[in-house]
Chain A
Amino acid sequence: MKPRKTGRGPATEPRASARGHTPRASGKRPTTTTSTTTTTLVELVVNGAKVEVPVEATDRLLDVLRGPLGLTGTKEGCGAGECGACTVLVDGRAVNACLYPAREIEGRAVTTIEGLGEPSGALSDVQQAFVERGAIQCGFCSPGMILAATALLAEHPEPTDEQIRDGLVGNLCRCTGYVQIVEAVRTAAARRAGGGTR
């Protein structure tokens, strides 16, 4: 089967596409599951907006996000579930988009880094804490790191340092160092506990 990536340009306005992507593909619902070259239309919610995207059997969620949806904030690092750069939330839970079959995303809600923060462009509290604590250097791990931290705080609103480290064990950073990252998560948690969101 031929790769079919050509012709799928990235969205021209990443911010807009992140929040209100309009479906590229339209038309009747699928197709079939018996041919190896068939594209299936899959409906899902991305950053709050319902979208319908063409998906091939071999696609991963990562391919769909970075390809037809143009959400290139989600990074591909190792492609094998080791580095966590492709971490996104599916129904609120952190997953590796490089290990998630795109066909399984049907009917689910995905949150990417573009979907955090306010429509005005203001950062989420976790993002803000990463900025303030210097927890970002090259930025490649940051989207995945921030989404993993967001999921962690949803499950443990007041995490211990050990819980923070356990929650981020699937995310590698090769330049900032983990100290600032752990501090950022601690800061975000403390502000939430203190009632402030910024």
Chain B
Amino acid sequence: MTRAAAGVPRCAPRGKRGAVATSGFAYHRPTTLREAWRLLAEHPGAALLAGGTDLLVRIRARELQPSAVVSLRSIPELAGAAAERGGGLRLGAATPVADLLRRATVVRRYPLLAQALRVMASPQIRNVATLGGNLCNASPCADTAPPLLAYEARVELRSARGRRELPLEEFFRGPGTTARRASEILTAVRLPAPPPGARVLFHKQRRVHLDLALASVAVLLRLQGTTCRRARLAAGSVGPTPLRLRAVERFLEGRILTEEVAVEAGRLAATAVSPITDLRSTADWRRRIVEVRVRRALVELAGLERAGGAP
């Protein structure tokens, strides 16, 4: 993914034009997972390529100098989406973002994810960049992460020795680092059945359209009357990893949603995040965005602006 999609710093030097600016690597296109695992074992310095929209830029900027590139684009079992028993959905990790948006099941049943995918990068990048690539880059600002956290998605990791599954929350370890072992491939993202009647809102704060998120907030609410029965909140670009805002969830669940509750939830969200100041924004501003956007999302989703003036 490009900087726009995955957080490569803007100041990264670019490759010299018209010349190959990289040290050499071998390019492999396995067609089965088994073959891919074998290549990973043979080339300890190999980089996995899904969409490649981030990887190629980083290689050309010499941030990465892999001895080999193992492309996951020709492995059929990594692409597509399939309904699961229990009403969930399994998304192949190497499915391009644009393909996910063409699927009615994704758009209708997981609208929070669709909202985030639509504002990710540009059409050109969405046609190529993949869900798994976005997650494995583990950028704090990965657009797909907050909605997937709110849906309590799990990731499936497979190696020649077996298969394991983790909550997405445990997959992220820090900026650019994940729980994936070098021998493993992220094969799928598994979404549980969406809570019935859930109301959702994704907000991405940015300066211009193509920007990386300065901060992002994903909110999922299930209400019974005015009482919050379930709340799932997550935020991006405001911590070393995309964050699930559990303190806010605990505060909201079981409570009657009022404007005061929304204000308090916003305050709690602001204290739950740990943003930094970098070239895109400041820590204070990001914290403020989280506070305001959580509050406004709750007001909007609970229909509070009709009752008493919007804050």
B residues lining the A interface (CB < 8 Å) = 1-5, 8, 12, 14-15, 17-20, 22-29, 49, 51-53, 56-57, 59-60, 67, 69, 71, 73, 98, 121-125, 127-128, 209-210
Contacts and interface: CB of A to CB of B under 8 A. Distances in A.
A79 B15 contact: yes
Interface stretch (A13-21, A80-88, A133-141, A184-192): A80-88
Nearest to A96: B124
Interface string A150-171: 0110000000000001110111
B122 A37 contact: no
Contact of A170 (B28, B57, B59, B210): B210
Interface of A: 1, 3-5, 33-38, 40, 56-60, 63, 66, 76, 78-82, 84, 87, 90, 93-96, 98-101, 103-104, 148, 151-152, 165-167, 169-171
A98 B25 CA distance: 18
11 contacts: A1-B23, A33-B27, A79-B60, A81-B53, A81-B122, A82-B210, A95-B128, A99-B2, A104-B29, A169-B123, A169-B209
B50 to A, nearest CB: 11
B139 to A, nearest CB: 15
A170 B121 contact: yes
Contact of B125 (A90, A99, A165): A99
A169 B2 CA distance: 14
Nearest to A87: B124
A96 B210 CA distance: 14
Is chain B's interface secondary structure helix, strand, loop, or mixed overall?
Answer: loop
Contacts of B57: 79-81, 99
A62 B51 CA distance: 16
Nearest to B125: A81
A2 to B, nearest CB: 8
A36 B24 contact: yes
B9 to A, nearest CB: 11
A59 B60 CA distance: 10
A99 B52 contact: yes
B36 to A, nearest CB: 13
A86 to B, nearest CB: 9
B210 A58 contact: no
A143 B127 CA distance: 18
B123 A1 contact: no
B24 A33 contact: no
Contacts of B121: 81, 170
Nearest to B17: A76
Contact of A169 (B29, B73, B122): B122
B20 A63 contact: yes
A3 B20 contact: yes
Given A82-B2, A95-B128, A96-B2, 19 more contacts: A4-B20, A5-B19, A33-B29, A36-B25, A58-B27, A60-B56, A79-B60, A81-B125, A82-B3, A82-B4, A94-B127, A96-B53, A99-B128, A101-B69, A104-B29, A151-B123, A167-B123, A170-B123, A170-B124
A94 B56 contact: no
Contact of A101 (B2, B4, B56, B122): B56
B14 to A, nearest CB: 5
Contacts of B12: 80
Nearest to B128: A95
Contacts of A104: 29, 52, 71, 73
